Structure 1
Amino acid sequence: MTAKYKSGVHKFAVFTVCWTILLFVAGALVTSKDAALSVTDWPKSHGAWVPPLSSLQGGDFFEFSHRFVAGGLGIFTLVLAVLLLGEESRVWLRWLGGIAVLGVVVQAILGGQVVIQLLHYWLPVIHACFAQIVFAAVLGIAVFTSKWWVSERPQLEDKGSPSIHSVAIWNALVIYLQVILGAGFRHKDFAIWPHAAGALVVLGTVTWTAVALRKRFGASPELGKARILLHAIFGAQFLLGLLAYWSRLTTADAPQPMPLMVWLTVIHTVVGAILFAFSVLVVLLCYRLVPRGAEVAATAPPVTAG
């Protein structure tokens, strides 16, 4: 790798990733607290950019908190893009910084349309799912600017079929589809059964990916840890899904969202986002450590007739 490690850029990228997780918490609280339309104007809140705290009662507080954290992410992503532009030699990574900024802008517009269109036209689901793509872009920047990524790494040979890259990509795609199904159920556009069935499909792809990593690259510490963490995060998410649905059933007749249901559904939503992000990380690890077939063929010494 010819790129140089920039500690400040990487640390700020990691901070931006953490802030994005905080935004997932804030957004999930809005949905779980039924506060999506507590503030009915946009982009201002009750006619002001920063309304007085005395006017933020009940759901208003959660909705404005979501907007405040989202505004912070917009600023931080823009700063990150500027840092990449000034410090980063990889042109494609500078472009990724710009794409992340554009993604945050689009996500903000989608969020505004959710309010303006009064939750219609599948906009809440689109808003929730597009957030995962923005998260993946920011996470990618953090990975690409890390010291681990730019350092020389021993390359591993993949003797299995399909390639580990294909396996990891399919795993990430299936998890993203499950995110869509979950968002559809959470925003009352889907029944529960597609999401429940999707969880079993994700169980299959996670197991397939983990087994492939263990059998083909058992000696790799990075891929070994990735395999264990993938299992652990999915296991926690599966259990949280059961608990979240149980809490919905047991509090269905409550006059307002109950704290147990709120926090279980919020944690389930956030861990789901982390699971998808981690599946993307597994894809990146595979591409960094395992050369693709065409790359191996290009670097192999020519065979001459004796």
Structure 2
Amino acid sequence: MNQSQLPAGDEKTRGLHRFAVLTAGATFCLIFVGGLVTSTGSALAVPDWPLAFGKLIPAWEGGIRFEFGHRLAAGTVVVLTLVLMAWAWRTEPRRWVRKLVALAFGLIVVQAILGGITVLLELPLAIAVAHAATAQALLCLMVSIAIFTNPRWSTTPHVDDPPSRIPLPTLAAAMTAVIYLQILIGAVMRHMSAGLVIPDFPLSFGHLAPPYWDEYIAINFAHRCGAVVVTAMVLWTVARVLRAHREVDALRRPALGLILLLVVQICLGAITIWSDRAVLPTTSHVALGAAVLATGLTLTLRAYRILGAPPRAHAIESHASSRVIEREVTA
């Protein structure tokens, strides 16, 4: 058996996959807790780093609960990622997967440093947004590792994609990139405290477009326009999946999940405005954006695996067959 083809019954492989899923879930929870810090205005409740008021554990009160809880959650993800890296380097035969896990550990270290700089420099916009961007990138890496370590990944059969101007894997990748960009715009808006500068929804000051502008209104309206673009991209991608590959469960399920998550996300965005940025809907809006991104990435990776180039063994076999035919014709 080729070492790169992992047997479905390999318990070590299954254990690594389960732990990767656990780590990805913990990373998602970390994003929720980070959103909670911003929603409650607790980002500077603990003014020093890496200690908290000069202690390992500060008094558990007020905004300190959210900020220090975020640090504890981050520390938990660091430990889980370290264990995942050690586990992968011991049992995972594919070198590129091991390198991906090492990259994830490096990224979470960068994420922690950015978090510390954010506190020490008192929330500079560029660093705060970079902190949010790396959090989403880390989630994408963790989800990818969980997918790649699934024993079924190496045995997924290839399916032909009907000819089209834009192949489904490319379309899904573009959709995922747009979702990530929309999340970054939302992070800029959130850290600029511009979430309520346009106080009504779905209109803007009673108009389709704001009648007057400044940088805060511009970033808020850009986020709303981004939501329209994301919706269009998701609908386009899901329609392609359901039209051409409805019978492929690995593609249909994340596609339907995207639609459901998108509807809930739009509703949460509206409730966030109508509730004057109440903590729970605002934080849930941040977390669900990450869930939309993770689901879009899942669909993208599966589309490339299922609809992309045929597996290497099949390609080699086809090439060998063509050489035999060529020799027979020449003879």
- TM-score, normalized by the shorter chain, greater than 0.5: yes
Alpha-carbon distance in structure 1 between the residues aligned to 2:99 and 2:292: 26
> Match for 1:112: what amino acid?
G
Q: What's 1:218 paired with?
A: 246
Q: Is the 8 A contact 1:3 1:90 kept in 2?
A: no
In 2 relative to 1, CA 117–211 (structure 1 residues): closer, same or farther, beyond 3 Å? same
Q: What's 1:192 paired with?
A: 220
Q: CA deviation at 1:293?
A: 8.2
Alpha-carbon distance in structure 2 between the residues aligned to 1:178 and 1:46: 35
> Match for 2:250: what amino acid?
E
Q: What's 1:64 paired with?
A: 68
2:136 is paired with a residue whose SS is helix
Alignment of 1:5-24 (within 5 A): 5=10, 6-24=13-31
Q: CA deviation at 1:155?
A: 1.0
Q: CA deviation at 1:186?
A: 1.0
Alpha-carbon distance in structure 2 between the residues aligned to 1:74 and 1:137: 14
Alignment of 1:270-289 (within 5 A): 270-289=287-306
Q: CA deviation at 1:9?
A: 0.9
> Match for 2:279: what amino acid?
V
* Match 2:237 to one of 209, 219, 244: 209
In 2 relative to 1, CA 213–240 (structure 1 residues): closer, same or farther, beyond 3 Å? same
Q: What's 1:180 paired with?
A: 184
Alpha-carbon distance in structure 2 between the residues aligned to 1:197 and 1:154: 39
Q: Is the 8 A contact 2:169 2:308 kept in 1?
A: no
1:20-70 CA-partner distances (Å, limit 9, x unpaired): 12111211110000000010000111112223xxx2221111100000010
Alignment of 1:103-252 (within 5 A): 103-150=107-154, 152-158=155-161, 159-188=163-192, 190=216, 191-248=219-276
Q: What's 1:25 paired with?
A: 32
Q: Is the 8 A contact 1:28 1:266 kept in 2?
A: yes
Q: Which has the larger radius of gyration?
A: 2
Deviates more, 1:228-237 or 1:210-219: 210-219
2:240 is paired with a residue whose SS is helix
1:50 is paired with a residue whose SS is coil
> Match for 2:70: what amino acid?
H
Alpha-carbon distance in structure 2 between the residues aligned to 1:265 and 1:60: 19
Q: CA deviation at 1:153?
A: 2.3
Scaled by the length of structure 2, the TM-score of the pair is 0.83
Q: CA deviation at 1:215?
A: 2.2
Q: Is the 8 A contact 1:156 1:217 kept in 2?
A: no
Alpha-carbon distance in structure 2 between the residues aligned to 1:156 and 1:269: 35
Q: Is the 8 A contact 1:29 1:266 kept in 2?
A: yes
Alpha-carbon distance in structure 2 between the residues aligned to 1:273 and 1:221: 23
Q: Is the 8 A contact 1:244 1:264 kept in 2?
A: yes
Q: CA deviation at 1:218?
A: 2.3
Q: What's 1:263 paired with?
A: 280
* Match 1:79 to one of 78, 83, 87: 83
Query: Unaligned 5+ residue runs, structure 2?
Result: 195-215
1:110-169 CA-partner distances (Å, limit 9, x unpaired): 00011011111421111111100001111111111112213x222111122211111011
> Match for 2:114: what amino acid?
L
> Match for 2:257: what amino acid?
L
* Match 2:5 to one of 2, 15, 30: 2
1:227-251 CA-partner distances (Å, limit 9, x unpaired): 2111111111111111112222xx6
Q: What is the aligned-residue identity percentage?
A: 33
> Match for 1:18: what amino acid?
G
CA RMSD of aligned residues (A): 2.0
Deviates more, 1:77-86 or 1:278-287: 278-287
Query: Unaligned 5+ residue runs, structure 1?
Result: 252-260
Q: Is the 8 A contact 1:160 1:216 kept in 2?
A: no
1:170-199 CA-partner distances (Å, limit 9, x unpaired): 000000010011111111175310000000
Count of paired positions: 291
Q: What's 2:55 paired with?
A: 48
Q: Is the 8 A contact 2:158 2:311 kept in 1?
A: no
2:275 is paired with a residue whose SS is helix
Alpha-carbon distance in structure 2 between the residues aligned to 1:294 and 1:9: 24
Deviates more, 1:58-67 or 1:16-25: 16-25
Alpha-carbon distance in structure 1 between the residues aligned to 2:100 and 2:120: 30
